A and B are shown apart, each in its own frame.
Chain A
């Protein structure tokens, strides 16, 4: 629609052009403004067409305004432009004609323009319409702009090596156009008649074809004129505020006379200044003198020294400045006495400090003698003396001393600022997680298993957690139902039971019991019938295989008639029994040195092996590694050694506990961490991959630790002690090797009788599946602590 209208307007215009072109050279001097007007009018008209009812002309940009300023119809431009349109079009027609002339003029300047102009001159009638269309397009194209670069005012070589030239307004990359071959581009330029108008826009990476207007604009700028054709630098001056013929002037009073005569007062003033300068009373540009003396010993902590140095250290303060120092200060800084005294906040000297004080101030001989006897610090600092005249006053006797001391002070003062950090001791504590977050852990006792008559020495829960076996000093071994606390079975032996151990296999419910010199394998009869058969077969000693000579000297296998198990008799008292996790081997510890202290029995073939390793010291307890088949850990009284039984060599590892006497040991189910309890109440946590030194040593118990235990699945471990307590710890081992185990003490479990004759808690074991802890007390009670 707009097009149609504009075309219609064009037709009008062309007609008019034809009319007017008769006299093209009538107003040659008016060329420029007319052209500008023409452009403006075409633009304006278009605007009117686009939004004819908005009256948007009022906020039209500067060129229209500047254009309209010099035009006479300023008002009509804004308010009734539609009416004026035709009128201006006639002017535009004028412009059209003269414009062609202009082209003709400029053609001589520019070759390229020349050829172009030739064409243009042919169809000068169409030119106008085409030009309008171009203008129209360029305007409307602003609404549907191609992706415009938003990189802003950055050097474009930053994008030289990139595939994109920047980003559009939505943040997407604007990719570069492919570079044409030079030859191709040259040919293209040769072919294209409008090539001379084309400009490569580096910023947006596109070729821009300049419109005629734009090329004119550039030309004008090259000439050094104002870029807009409608700007008139020599516009006639319009005196907007002329008031000569106004009806109401601002003031009708006549100008006073004083406005027209020179001021007398000013003249007087000037004469005065001139005289003063002649006399030298006023001096100009006197350089400010820097004082060449300064307060050497003054407190300059407030001075600008601070700001000059980053780490300014003030000199040490004067301690007790002697009077000489004051004098020094007074003389050196040319400051009156009184000011120095004020500066140092001192009292003025009294009569007694005069060189010739009255007699009553002078101490007597006795007083002086008394002063001599006084302690030096109590002696008065100043003893008045009398001199007949100022001349007879001697030099200050301490002058040198004090100066030297001061110099020493300055010389020896620290050159480094000491930094004292205020550390809250609480913040130095390791940040441990709260106990609440580490639940569940055993904390309260709900069940007690009563029945033993002597101290319960050993505990062993079965792997399902349904039963627990206990051995006691009264010679009995009992099996309890965990759930109800009912005693299910009792075996009575003659000797106190040292250790019980439940076979770790779930389908093999047998017990190993150590008492005296015997190790007894008991059938608990808790398995199913088939299991029971297997166990009975296993526990029936047929023809015993020949033992090695070395082993035969230590152990002998017997059938236990009373309880239908196996009795393995050792040459010394057995103190500790441990099963291999596969349930076939079990190790027994005797209190004997070297190779005889530990033997390993194999139940399936009824054989016994001695360890092929020589040990120093008596073994205390042993452990089979939970994963490694051949790994075997032996604790002697001082050290812990890890062996590989298949290689039969020297120990793989030796852990230095630093403990006096090891009492017990437990291994983390992961197999890399070991805790060792000692008889001095210390517990060491070893990270065996980390080092042979303890990762952490916990000193909790005041008395001997009797046993330590790890939980099979929960991150818990515990220690029990002769002080009748058991400690529960959180001990989390991370699968990340870089992370150290987290050890947090959780709970102190009390409850067992603490009478001095008792030996406290003798054993502790975790329930295999629940976070519960069994403790065996010397008070013949077994307690179960639940979460």
Chain B
């Protein structure tokens, strides 16, 4: 960092600013730095300014763009003058700081849901759903499916005494489970479904629950999206979770449900659905389209065409309006349906080397999303740069599912039968 005589001509006056809180707040002074420093150099400069006892990685923004090359190149590429004092904003680098112990399953982990901070749900090819309170500790096993579970979701994660979980399976059914949350102890409870939803004619691929509602929707290989009611239709058959726990063979006490509504429009397998608002469902399909459905009318109000078979879709970002979808090619695409007159993606992220199996927006950040791919990698993305923020490649095989958890962790499952949790991601 010591300025050499020959570098004296290539120095830049910079000022580091941040929105971070006190331990990471650097004094606002102008600093002279050589122009050829990279992110690492900038990070070490900020660390030396902060005098932290522990080294902290930072990411740097100039005019809302992340620096991914040397400062000199960046300024040249963006055409920013180096004459004036440059204002560089720094944020904590988005990268997992810790890798939790993997939680081994009996078979491929096909689905994961981390929308509740209390639990992680996983669906497995052995037909069992699992609830994990923390990495390594499985509290419940959800059983009953005769085929592999393809998707799992919290139907109601806010319940006082228990949560409701919906699972979709390749045996053409969905099951709803009620799980008490006050379970304690080491033993793993086995839970049976309180309601079986039949109606799909082929494998169910995906399930999503209405936020603050009592409905779930599911997509299937029969090209339809079905909406189901999660309510126990009559009170006499509702059995509290505790009682049912010991009685999990009691199949006869299960309710059967039929689809409320069927949304027809896709011409091929519906591979993923999300239900971000009360009456709006987004779905993607192998017919290369992403559609937005109005639940009230059952019509699709938006149809984005991508050109590739899509495996996964998620809605989030700015105003919860950006649609991210990935599929049968290594490119993660982000559309902005609010943009009039065009259906071209606004962002394309192409660092994966195989199909994308999952993509999720961060719940609170406008910029961050993750994608999982069959190349065994999970990548964290920021809309402000085209390079991945960090790559999690702990999986040995295909990653089949991934999700954010607690806002600062990434949970993922894959063909290596492990649920992996990467924590300490500061956003």
Interface centre among A440, A465, A484, by most chain B C-beta atoms within 10 angstroms, is A484
Flag whether A158 is at the interface (Cβ < 8 A).
no
Q: How far is the CA of A483 from the CA of B400 in the complex (A)?
A: 10
CA of A786 to CA of B356, assembled, Å: 13
- Per-residue CB proximity of A451-482 to B under 8 Å, as 1/0? 00000000000001110000000000000000
- Asked if A769 and B286 sit within 8 Å, CB to CB, the answer is yes
Judging by beta carbons under 8 Å apart, are B311 and A483 in contact? yes
Checking B286, B307, B328 against A446 with a beta-carbon cut-off of 8 angstroms, the contacting residue is B328
Q: Is the CB of B286 within 8 A of A528?
A: no
- Which of B110, B201, B328, B354 is close to A770, meaning CB atoms less than 8 Å apart? B328
Contact B201 A440 (CB under 8 A): no
Of B286, B329, B415, the contact of A484 (CB 8 Å cutoff): B415
Residues from chain B with a CB closer than 8 A to the CB of A769 are 268, 286
In the assembled complex, B405 has its CB within 8 A of some CB on chain A: no
B108 to A786, Cβ gap below 8 A?
Answer: no
The answer to whether A484 and B202 touch across the interface, beta carbons within 8 angstroms, is no
CA distance A772 to B355 in the complex (A): 13
CA distance A106 to B286 in the complex (A): 104
- Is residue B125 contacting chain A, with contact meaning CB distance below 8 A? yes
Query: How far is A770 from B329 in the complex, measured between Cα atoms in Å?
Result: 13
In this complex, what residue of A is CB-closest to B268?
A769
- Asked if A446 meets B330 with Cβ closer than 8 Å, knowing A464-B221, A769-B286, the reply is yes
Specify which chain B residues have a CB less than 8 angstroms from the CB of A446 in the assembled complex. 328-330, 354-355, 374
Tell me if B140 counts as interface (CB < 8 A to partner A).
Answer: no
B157 within 8 A of A: no
Q: Is A770 touching B355 in the complex (CB atoms < 8 A)?
A: no
In the bound complex, CA of A770 to CA of B328 (Å): 10
Residues 517-568 of A contacting B (Cβ, < 8 Å): 528
Q: Is A379 an interface residue (CB 8 A)?
A: no
The answer to whether B221 and A486 have CB atoms under 8 Å apart is no
Across the interface, do A440 and B307 meet the contact criterion of CB distance under 8 Å?
yes
Contact among A440, A485, A486, A770 for B286, CB-based, below 8 A: A770
Of residues 751 through 787 on chain A, the ones whose CB sits less than 8 Å from some CB of chain B are 769-770, 772, 786-787
Interface status of B13 (Cβ within 8 A of chain A): no
Q: Is the CB of A486 within 8 A of B330?
A: no
Interface bits A424-451 vs B (CB < 8 Å: 1, else 0): 0000000000000000100000110000
The one of B110, B202, B355 in contact with A447, judged by C-beta atoms closer than 8 angstroms, is B355
Knowing A486-B415, A770-B309, say if A464 contacts B398 (CB, 8 Å). no
* Number of A residues, CB within 8 Å of B: 16
Contacts of B308 in A (CB 8 A): 786-787
Of A466, A486, A528, A786, the contact of B201 (CB 8 Å cutoff)? A528
- Does B269 belong to the interface (CB within 8 Å)? yes
A466 CB contact (under 8 Å) in B202, B328, B355: B202
Query: In the complex the two chains form, is B400's CB within 8 Å of A484's CB?
Result: yes
Residue of A whose beta carbon sits closest to that of B375: A446
Cα–Cα distance between A195 and B125 once the two chains are bound (Å): 111
Q: Enumerate chain B residues within 8 angstroms of A770, measured Cβ to Cβ.
A: 286, 309, 328
B202 touches A464 (CB 8 A): yes
Enumerate chain A residues within 8 angstroms of B292, measured Cβ to Cβ: none
CB of A447 within 8 A of CB of B329, answer: no
List residues 298-346 of chain B with CB under 8 A from any CB of chain A: 307-309, 311, 328-330
CA distance in complex: A528, B202 (Å): 7
- Cross-interface CB contact of B108 among A483, A486, A528, A772, cutoff 8 Å: A486
Chain B residues, Cβ within 8 Å of A465: 268-269, 286
Is the C-beta of B244 less than 8 angstroms from some C-beta in chain A?
Answer: no
Docked pose: A772 CA to B328 CA in angstroms: 10
Name the residue on B nearest A770 (C-beta): B309
Tell me the complex Cα distance, A440–B354, Å: 17
Task: Tell me, in angstroms, the Cα distance from A787 to B308 when the chains sit together.
Answer: 8
List the B side residues contacting A486 at CB < 8 Å.
108, 125, 415
CA distance A770 to B201 in the complex (A): 21
Note all chain B residues with C-beta closer than 8 A to A466. 202-203, 221, 269
B172 adjacent to chain A (CB < 8 Å): yes
Give Cα A656 to B172, complex, Å.
Answer: 49
CB-CB < 8 A to B201: which residues of A?
Answer: 528
- A200 CB, nearest partner CB in chain B, Å: 66
> B307: nearest residue on chain A (CB-CB)?
A440
**From residue 477 to 523 of chain A, which have CB atoms closer than 8 A to chain B?**
483-486
B108 neighbours in A (Cβ, 8 Å) = 484, 486
Smallest distance from the beta carbon of B150 to chain A beta carbons, Å? 9
The closest CB in chain B to the CB of A444 belongs to B329
Give chain B nearest CB distance to A727 CB in angstroms.
Answer: 21
B-side contacts of A772, CB under 8 Å: 328
Bits for B268-312, please: 1 = Cβ < 8 Å to A, else 0: 110100000000000000100000000000000000000111010
Closest to B221 in A: A466
Residue with the highest number of chain B CB atoms closer than 10 Å, among A440, A486, A787: A486
Residue of B nearest to A531 (CB): B201
Known A446-B354, A447-B374, A466-B221; contact A528-B398, beta-carbon cutoff 8 A: no
What per-residue 1/0 map shows which CB atoms of B391-405 lie under 8 Å from chain A? 000000010100000
Q: From A440, which residue of chain B is reached at the shortest CB distance?
A: B307
- Nearest chain-B residue to A786 (Cβ)? B328
Complex: how many Å from CA A337 to CA B286?
Answer: 95
Indicate with 1 or 0, residue by residue over B74-110, a CB within 8 angstroms of chain A CB atoms: 0000000000000000000000000000000000101
Q: Which chain B residues (109-164) contact chain A, with CB distance < 8 Å?
A: 110, 125
Q: How far is the CB of A463 from chain B (nearest CB, A)?
A: 12
Could you say which residues of chain A place their CB within 8 Å of the CB of B271? 483
Question: What B residues does A528 contact at CB under 8 A?
Answer: 172, 201
Q: How far is the CB of B320 from chain A (nearest CB, A)?
A: 28
B329 touches A786 (CB 8 A): yes
- 0/1 string, B352-380, CB within 8 A of A gives 1: 00110100000000000000001000000
CA distance A466 to B221 in the complex (A): 8
A485 to B354, CA, bound (A): 13
Residue of B328, B329, B357, B400 with most partner-chain A CB within 10 A: B328
| Chain A neighbourhood of B221, CB < 8 A | 464, 466
- CB-CB < 8 A to B307: which residues of A? 440
Residues from chain A with a CB closer than 8 A to the CB of B202 are 464, 466
Minimal Cβ-Cβ distance residue in A for B205 = A483
- Complexed CA–CA distance, A464 and B125 (Å): 21
B352 to chain A, nearest CB (A): 10
For A254-280 the 0/1 string (1 means CB < 8 A from B) is: 000000000000000000000000000
Q: How far is the CA of A528 from the CA of B268 in the complex (A)?
A: 18
- C-alpha gap A484/B415 in the complex (Å): 9
A769 to B287, CA, bound (A): 8
> CB-nearest residue of chain A relative to B311?
A483
Closest CB in chain B relative to A438 CB, distance in Å: 14
Within the assembled complex, what's the spacing in Å between the Cα atoms of A484 and B271?
A: 12
Interface string of B182-210 (1 = CB under 8 A from A): 00000000000000000001110000000
CB-contacts of A582-610 with B (<8 A): none
* Least CB distance, A40 to chain B, in whole angstroms: 72
Task: Please report which residues of chain B, range 256-275, place their CB below 8 angstroms from some CB of chain A when the two chains form the complex.
Answer: 268-269, 271
A485 contacts B172, C-beta separation under 8 Å:
no
- For residue B332, give the distance in angstroms from its CB to the closest CB of chain A: 14
CA of A464 to CA of B172 in the docked complex: distance in angstroms? 15
Residues of B within 8 A of A484 (CB): 108, 110, 357, 398, 400, 415
Task: Tell me, rounded to whole Å, the shortest Cβ–Cβ distance linking A316 to chain B.
Answer: 68
CB distance from A261 to the nearest CB of B (A): 96
Q: Which residue of A lies closest to B222 (CB)?
A: A464
Q: How many angstroms between the C-alpha atoms of A484 and B416 in the bound complex? A: 13
**A interface residue numbers (CB < 8 A to B):** 440, 446-447, 464-466, 483-486, 528, 769-770, 772, 786-787
Besides the contacts A466-B203, A786-B328, what 5 more A-B pairs have beta carbons closer than 8 Å? Answer: A446-B328, A464-B202, A464-B221, A484-B110, A786-B355
A-B contact pairs, 17 of them (CB 8 A): A440-B307, A446-B330, A446-B354, A446-B374, A447-B355, A447-B374, A465-B268, A465-B286, A484-B108, A484-B110, A484-B357, A484-B400, A485-B398, A486-B108, A528-B201, A770-B286, A786-B308
- The 6 residue pairs across chains A and B that have the minimum distance between CB atoms: A446-B354, A786-B328, A446-B355, A466-B221, A770-B309, A769-B268
